[in-house]
């Protein structure tokens, strides 16, 4: 009998996930671990990572600043040395601050691009070399609906620019590596409550704006990204590359 869930399993595969210390990243780590993956979790907040690692038997927690190339190299090396392969990379680490473009701090703009766009390229390059040698691998870049459309009433210039760039980086790497066994796709969440959006959800007028703008009439809730993540990370999407999967309650459809 065929088990339709088998392609979604990641048994014995090594997954690196950045930004895993809290929010969506911590949830992603739990989901990938539950799917059988050897999870290597990276973030700057070592104490939170360690707490999560204690919850997930066999998971590895590694303090890492993704804007430091040497630390990115170490992250991939540790994962490869510990588990023998690099099978999935989830570029989830990110930052974003709202500011009107005419007043946005230029250094903050550059820092945002460094975390949200340059770091995913660096890690994809490093991990991608291992995957290309193996002739298999899946990279999942976590972008945003703001990488596809403008928020309009919320000024997120640096964040939106970086996430739009990540969408195009996804397509470029997918095109370069498709014939060599490495798939690169993009997950684009809509409005979900996280550390980055906590102030919006705490403010009733902002929360009401999300409900009003989203065709489904609400924000996303915990767990509603799980299936999309597993699909892109696993063999369930073995013939999918260079794609952006928006999980946004219809936000980008209208």
**Alpha-carbon torsion 193, 195, 199, 202, what sign?**
positive
The three-state secondary structure class of 149 is coil
The stretches of the chain forming alpha helices (DSSP H) are 23-34, 46-55, 69-83, 106-113, 119-134, 157-177, 198-202, 204-213, 226-233
Q: Are 165 and 193 in contact (CB under 8 A)?
A: no
| Nearest in space to 73 (alpha carbons), one of 118, 121, 114, 126 | 126
Catalytic residue among 159, 191, 192, 251: 159
**Alpha-carbon torsion 152, 209, 116, 87, what sign?**
negative
Is position 159 annotated as part of the catalytic site? yes
| Rounded distance between C-alpha atoms, residue 29 and residue 79, angstroms | 15
For the record, the structure tokens of 254 come out as: 């209208």
Residues assigned a catalytic role: 159
């Amino acid at each position: 009998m065929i088990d339709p869930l088998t392609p979604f399993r990641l048994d014995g595969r090594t997954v690196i996930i950045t930004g895993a210390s809290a929010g969506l990243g911590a949830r992603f780590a739990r989901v990938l671990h539950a799917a059988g993956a050897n999870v290597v979790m990276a973030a700057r907040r070592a104490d939170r990572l360690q707490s999560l690692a204690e919850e997930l038997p066999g998971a590895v927690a590694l303090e890492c600043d993704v804007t430091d190339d040497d630390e990115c190299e170490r992250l991939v090396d540790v994962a490869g040395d510990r588990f023998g392969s690099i099978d999935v990379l989830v570029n989830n680490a990110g930052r974003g601050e709202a500011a009107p473009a005419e007043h946005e701090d230029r250094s903050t703009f550059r820092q945002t691009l460094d975390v949200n766009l340059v770091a995913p390229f660096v890690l994809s390059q490093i991990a991608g070399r291992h995957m290309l040698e193996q002739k298999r691998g899946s990279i999942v870049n976590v972008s945003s609906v703001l990488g596809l459309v403008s928020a309009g009433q919320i000024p997120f210039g640096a964040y939106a620019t970086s996430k739009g760039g990540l969408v195009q980086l996804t397509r470029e790497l997918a095109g370069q590596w498709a014939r060599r066994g490495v798939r690169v796709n993009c997950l684009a969440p809509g409005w979900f409550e996280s550390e980055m959006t906590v102030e919006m959800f705490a403010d009733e007028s902002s929360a009401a704006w999300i409900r009003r703008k989203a065709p489904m009439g609400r924000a996303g809730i915990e767990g509603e990204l799980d299936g999309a993540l597993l699909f892109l990370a696993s063999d369930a999407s073995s013939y999918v590359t260079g794609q952006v999967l928006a999980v946004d309650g219809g936000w980008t459809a209208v």
